[in-house]
Amino acid sequence: MNPQSASIRRRGIQSGLYQRTQKNEKITVFMTTHYMEEAENCDRIAIIDHGKIIALDTPNRLKEMVKGDVVHLVTDNNGLAIQEIQKTFGIAVHEENDGLTLETENGDEIIPN
């Protein structure tokens, strides 16, 4: 199944689950996903990193904690990219996960078209 079809299927299953569980107060559904848009209809979200819960709250409160977008870039020259990003946008950049990570209010302004 291609990724787009899988995403549509997941949304359909989740939509049905949400509708059924919202009517029944004593039901807990444990769902796992890597996509915030799939989890944002849940009452609470736990973010797990290396087997440990590192954040647990409502979707809105978790989004407030991030306060913007996290952008991950893969470049051929991280040192040069860091210099250019800091010079152009004046924001901190960190090397991690074989690339660069930065946080900004508006990630769409950082990512080239």
Q: What is the pLDDT of residues 6-58, one digit of tens each?
A: 555 556 556 666 665 555 566 777 778 877 777 877 888 998 889 999 999 99
Q: Do 7 and 60 belong together in one domain?
A: yes
Residues 8 and 59 grouped into a single domain: yes
* 59 and 76 share one domain: no
Answer yes or no: do 40 and 77 share one domain.
Answer: no
How far apart CA 113 and CA 89 sit, in angstroms, is 16
- Determine contact, residues 58/43, Cβ cutoff 8 Å: yes
Looking at the fold, whether 13 and 28 belong to one and the same domain comes out as yes
43 and 78 inside one domain: no
Report pLDDT for 113.
62
Range of the domain at 43: 3-64
Residue 58 and residue 73 share a domain: no
The whole-number pLDDT of residue 37 equals 74
pTM exceeds 0.75: no
Same domain flag for 77 and 103: yes
Distance CA 49, CA 109 (A): 29
Are residue 45 and residue 88 in the same domain, yes or no?
no
Mark which of 26, 41, 64 sits at the end of a domain. 64
Query: Is 68:105 a contact under the CB 8 Å cutoff?
Result: yes
Same domain assignment for residues 12 and 32: yes
Q: How far is CA 110 from CA 35, 54, 98, in A?
A: 22, 28, 19
Number of compact structural domains in the chain? 2
